[in-house]
Amino acid sequence: MAEATIPAVLFGQAQTRPNDPAYFVRGETDWGPTSWATYALNVRRAAQALLAFGIEGGDVICILGNNRPEWCEMDLGAMCINAIPAGIYQTCSGEEISYILNHAEAKILLLDTQTQWDKVNAIRDQLPHLKRVVLMSGLNIDDALTQSWEDFLTSGDAVEASKIDDSVAALKPNDPATFIYTSGTTGPPKAVMLSHNNLAWTAEAARDVVGQTHLDTSLSYLPLSHIAEQMFTLHAPITTGARVYFAQNIEKMPDNLKEVQPTIFFGVPRVWEKFHAGVAGKLKLATGAKAKLVAFAQRTGTKVSDLRCQGKPITGLLAFKYKLANKLIFSKLKPAIGMGNARICVSGAAPIAPDVLKFMASLDVVILEVYGQSEDTGPTSFNLTGQTRFGTVGRRLAGVDVKIAEDGEILVSGPNVFLGYYKDEEATNATLDADGWLYSGDLGAFDADGYLTITGRKKDIIITAGGKNIAPKNIEAALMEHEAVSQAVVIGDRRKFLSAVMTINPEMLAEKSGDTAAFEASVSAHIEEINKRFARVEHIRKFSILPRELDQENDELTPTMKIKRRIVYDNWADIIDGMYA
């Protein structure tokens, strides 16, 4: 693979396909396209404006806002002049925003809403480095610190455009290209330094994995501060010329998805779980002949998906049944959830329950689970089309070395492994060894065919009062196989036995409130069944149903929907202690 840079590839796309659409934004009545030529021009103007402001190579530019073209254009504009973009999650508090802005020593911040401005304005006295807040289009705030997006771009018009070309040509593959601030399950976020080569190499690898072309479409809606969404919105589409649709916001994502019907769709497990719960609830309402037809379609879908996952052809009677199931059920159901054109569906950023994968596969939607982290630019391993094994995270990415340490930790080496943590030599040395191996912190194992299974996270290991080490991940995944359980957290550190707290899918709350005793008996019976799969010391002895789902508002979830165990233990201490009273 060539040692290109993403800005150079972008300008190449603008020359190769200048009039093709690069991205779409929802207007009042329809989706409006922006060409590759205009996209590249906007990026160039952002770079010129940054130079005019006095931004130099190595300076950090922060971005706080929803997925919008300005987010991408500022990000890429900074890269063009060897400055470093760093996203901040929209859900961050004022205190968290202050920490990142000061850690990065950011002189410029781009943001998109009054709410985000209010957070920044309240802490502006704590931000000695911040000199300018640029406002995305449509936001008007009269303040000496602010500047509109249009005025910001115009401010660079006096800078020679050729300076940007010279700067892009001078970018070095191993220079830092972007900072990804971790979502912080423990302690303050760390800034993952990814190089230009990390981004360009991984984007090419992603293209090869999913076979992306310039005709593919995707919906951008997950936080762009996360490397996975950056890969699906920025780096891979720029590499392939594919088209990106920017969702209006997370609330309108389901409607936008139905309108766009993308060919490639990436979702975190929480998104797929909501699909699962919503569709399962509606299918349950089917009666009589329709119920039998749905059951037939799901049986057929399961058999077809099993063969497709093994790369085997669909022939004979099964092919006929599939054609019938597709005509009567799949061709109507899939467009209704936005999957009418989807040829690649991906889940990542956190573990997904196998029963969700199996249910969606029964509806002719095969979800490919990917595993990785910010520190290796997103992917370590990937379930490929025709080479998919549910319950695993696929085989290692081509060109990446993966091995299992003696204690079960997954180690990664390759062109996608990061440079280190910004301003944190101690954490870098604890994560990267002298030979360039990344210590992932995850525990895993390969099967005989090279498929990787994640068995837990080192820091999540529970050590019981009896001294037994237990990885809770697989137990939690089994608990979530109950159709109503949306989240599960296993408890047991320094305790005599394991217990669990669980939350209920909102769609199932009515069923629970109708007959609480029967519902809890159903969950209890489920636990008895799954306990048979595990060693005695891993059995769940008691459980509690929490009155609400875990959420970001109460700091129980990271912006990427990972559970913060320590916060859950603190927030629900009374209930947890009650199980051990």
Flag whether 221 is in a domain: no
3-class SS string, 508-572: HHHHHHHCHHHHHHHHHHHHHHHHCCCCHHHCEEEEEECCCCCCCCCCCECCCCCECHHHHHHHC
Task: Enter the DSSP assignment of 397.
Answer: P
Same domain, 449 and 467: no
Flag whether 261 is in a domain: no
Burial degree of 210 (CB within 10 A; 0-12, 13-18, 19+): buried
Flag whether 209 is in a domain: no
What is the per-residue pLDDT for 186? 59
Same domain, 25 and 79: yes
What is the per-residue pLDDT for 2? 45
Where the chain has pLDDT below 50, the residues are 1-2
Identity at 452, one-letter amino acid code: L
Q: What total of structural domains would you count in the chain?
A: 3
Of the residues 422, 457, 492, the one at which a domain ends? 457
The domain of 186 spans 6-195
Of the residues 173, 195, 217, the one at which a domain ends? 195
The model carries a pTM of 0.87
Same domain, 359 and 482: no
Same domain, 131 and 28: yes
CB contact set of 148 (below 8 Å; sequence gap of 6+): 134, 135, 137, 139, 140
Instruction: State the angle between helix axes of 114-122 and 94-104 in degrees (0 to 180), rounded to the nearest 10.
Output: 70
Flag whether 248 is in a domain: no
Same domain, 44 and 156: yes
Distance separating alpha carbons of residues 29 and 31, to the nearest angstrom: 7
Same domain, 453 and 496: no
Q: What is the mean pLDDT of the chain?
A: 92
H helices of 211-287, where?
227-230, 236-240, 253-260, 269-283
Same domain, 412 and 478: no
Flag whether 235 is in a domain: no
Flag whether 231 is in a domain: no
